[in-house]
Structure formats: structure tokens, C-alpha cells
């Protein structure tokens, strides 16, 4: 699959209301787990933090893929 097709798929996913809601719900669940944990639940907080960072990494990767179209367009303008 070419980069522009992947960019379009990533862009569509990032604009999808259901996807946005799922990502927000997952992050909010993990943040609630952090905020609701007891002082001695260090492992629980660390695991929840890792999940939040993983979600951010996933969304960031999709944003990078979606930006490929703009990168290609600017590259052609420069040349």
C-alpha cells in the first residue's frame, strides 16, 4: 500500500467521531485509575500511565502518517 493511501486512511480515522470517542474514553479511564488509586498502588499508577503514553504514541503515529500527504505536496512545491 502506498504512503498516500495510508495517509488518507489515517486522516479518516483521526477525524472519525467513534474513534475519537474511544480514544478519549480509554485515556479518561486510565487517568481515573491514576487519580483514584491509593498511595501505595504504585504499580497500578505506572501501568495506567504506560497505557496513556501508548495511546498518545498511537495517535501521534497516525497523525504522522496523515501528514504524509502535506509533506509530499510541500516537497513537490520546493522542487
Give the chain as a 3 state SS string.
Answer: CCHHHHHHHHHHHHHCHHHHHHHHHHHHHHHHHHHCCCCCCHHHHHHHHHHHHHHHHHHHHHHHHHCHHHHHHHHHHHC
Highest mean pLDDT among 4-8, 35-39, 66-70: 35-39
What is the tens place of the pLDDT at every residue in 15-31? 999 999 999 999 999 99
Q: How far is the C-alpha of 54 from the C-alpha of 65, rounded, in Å?
A: 17
**pLDDT over 70 (residue 79):** no
Amino acid at each position: 500500500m502506498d504512503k498516500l493511501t495510508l495517509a488518507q486512511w489515517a486522516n479518516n480515522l483521526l477525524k472519525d467521531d467513534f474513534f475519537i470517542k474511544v480514544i478519549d474514553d480509554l485515556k479518561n479511564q486510565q487517568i481515573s485509575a491514576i487519580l483514584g488509586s491509593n498511595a501505595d498502588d504504585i504499580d497500578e499508577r505506572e501501568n495506567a500511565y504506560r497505557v496513556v503514553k501508548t495511546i498518545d504514541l498511537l495517535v501521534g503515529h497516525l497523525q504522522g502518517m496523515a501528514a504524509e500527504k502535506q509533506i509530499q505536496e510541500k516537497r513537490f512545491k520546493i522542487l
